[in-house]
Structures are given as C-alpha cells and as structure tokens.
Chain A
C-alpha cells in the first residue's frame, strides 16, 4: 500500500535526483520498499551509481541488490545488453544461485523467447519445487502470451498450495475481471478483504465486481446490488468519506435498487437516507475541489432522482 505521504516523499526525491541534487541511493531504496514501477528513472540513476567505482564501493554488500534492481529495470526498458551484463556480474559472484537463475529466466522472457524461458524455469523448479516466484513467473509467461485461461488454471493450482499469497489473489481477480467472470472475481476480492480488511481499494473493487454482476445475472440481481451498496458504504467508512468513486457508487446503486423494487412492495425504504447523504457529500466535495463542475453534478443528480 502506498500512502499519500510516502508517495509525496517519493516524488520529492525523484525531482531532487533528476535535478542533480544527490540522494540517488535513498531514492532507489524507497522505490524498492514501495514496489513502485519506475524503471526508466531506476535505470538511469542506478547505472550512474554502478558506473562510478567510488560510489559502488561505498555500498558494500548492498551492491548486489542494486545490480538486481538495475537488471530488472533494464529489462523493463528493453535494454537487454545492460541486463545481460548485470546478470553476468551477479552469476560470477553467486554461481549456481536460484535468484540469479530466475533473473536469467526473466531475461529470456523479456526477449520474447517464451519456450526457452519455460524450460529454464522447469530446470530451476527441479531443484526447488516450492519456489513461489518461479511459479508466478510461469503464470506471467501465460499472461504475456495472451493465454488468459491457461494463466487462470496455473494461478488456481498455485493458490491451492500457497493460499495466503494476496498478490496472487489480486492478480487472479484482475484476470477474472478482464475475462468478465465477475462471480469468480468477486470471490477473489472476498479473499483479499478477509486477509486485509483495512485496505479501501479492495472494498471498492469488490463493490464494482458485485455491481457488474448485475449485468450478467438478472436473477438475484437485487442481492448483488445490495452487496455492492454495502461495500461502497464500507469504503466510505474506511476512507472517512473522501473517496469520490465510492460516493458515486452509493448514489447509483441506491437509484438502481429503487428502480428494481418499484414493482414490489416498499417495506424497506431505509436506503433513501444514505442516498441523500451521499449526494450531499458529493456536492460538497466538488464545491471544494472542482467548483466549475459543480453545476454538472447537481443537474445529473436531479435527473437521476426524477427518472427513478
């Protein structure tokens, strides 16, 4: 999870390093800690440290981690020679290491040689059959070739063994969403919410998957909408009412539920309070942050209330 102040610190460090003030190593450590994907900057500043023998010797043992990080970034930026050089240096220092073998497999993947990469990973798996990262790379190979159903099968098999890996659950949820299998995506998000209940993006994604479920399944659509509304509301609670998308979600869900229950008897009319509160919060938010768009929002809310 990247929090706002960490993201701000990362951007500050990045602009500082770009404009020539020091702190490149601190920036690279922060990128590694936050798992941000800023490969071009990492490549540039990592190479500037590695090509300077004085700075390199100052790093001591961390030099090898930097080589690994730079190799990764080079592969992302399609600089395969740089990556090959880094891996050569690493394999000279750590011969026969699985971690370096993984990097070599990654290089084959980056070059597009899927079959050779798979063979390399199979070889590594013979020695360490329970290496999580290698299994995940096999899924990535399937994903990169566009074979999403194979990726889904591989991920399911992986998750049967390593059930607590939330990165994998998240990846599976995203693949299901792109395949429009919303019921399965909702299940994955449920797992994520169970393991990390205080992370708002998971609640939001679950609400959207449940809401989209209505598109495919009209029977039982009402329950899915109510679930969606519940999780939009929980996102609002977790973020203290600041998440605009969740506010919109609550408004739209309430209106859709009212439309669906128009024919049936109106015993449960408790939802109207939530809807008006969310509409008010939305208007207040726009008034503070984008006052020019406020008339649009007001007219849209009025239209929705009239039509429903």
Chain B
C-alpha cells in the first residue's frame, strides 16, 4: 500500500509539472507570437506517464477488493442468523452441570 501511495503522489506531481510546463510553453509562444497547437512532445510523454502512474496507484493503494459475486466461495451464505428476538430458554442446556465458578465480581 505504501508503494501505491508513493506512486500515486509521483503521478500527481508529474501531472502538475506537465501543466506548469505547458503554461510556460504558452507564455514562450506568446513572446514568439506563434499559435498554440499542442504542447511539446516531452510534455505529452510526461502526461501519459503521469496518467499510467495514477491509474496504477488507484488500483493498488486501496486494500484487497471485496468480491461481489453472490455465489463466490467467500460470499456463500452459510447460515441464517439465529433469530435472537424469539430465543427461548427452555432448551436441554438446563441439564448441563452448573459451572459455579462464573461470578460477576463487584
């Protein structure tokens, strides 16, 4: 998860830097009085790299993804809850020997 965070931050910094470089490039173009068609090649490469890093970090940084299939092995419903609202105490547990050591100290 650490690596995910680091890579994500690096990707963000790359994107910010690419934006800054583009603004500087436009400023320079204004001085030279040319039209701004697209940012220079290295900025485009930096953008794509930043995009790849951010996507990888978004998938790797969070913890393990949970399964959504209802019939996958971990989502399989094993039992219904025991319906505790209607629980009765009239069961065979009454004949178990009493464990006298259970006491609430006060």
Contacts and interface: CB of A to CB of B under 8 A. Distances in A.
Interface in A1-50: 1-5, 7, 34-37, 43-44, 47, 50
Q: Is the interface of A mostly helix, strand, loop or mixed?
A: helix
A110 B94 CA distance: 10
Contacts of A35: 81-82, 84
Contact of B98 (A34, A36, A76, A79): A79
Interface residues of B, number: 32
A263 interface: no
B34 interface: no
B76 interface: yes
Given A4-B76, A51-B105, A79-B98, A133 B85 contact: yes
Given A201-B77, A242-B71, A140 B102 contact: no
A148 B98 CA distance: 30
Given A79-B98, A79-B99, A170 B78 contact: no
Contacts, number: 115
Contacts of A171: 83, 85-86
Contact of A78 (B72, B78, B81, B93): B93
A144 interface: yes
Contacts of B104: 47, 50-51, 70, 82, 85-86, 89
A207 interface: no
Nearest to A86: B104
A140 B81 contact: no
A199 B77 contact: yes
A166 B67 CA distance: 26
A82 B105 CA distance: 9
Contacts of B87: 37, 76, 140
A300 to B, nearest CB: 26
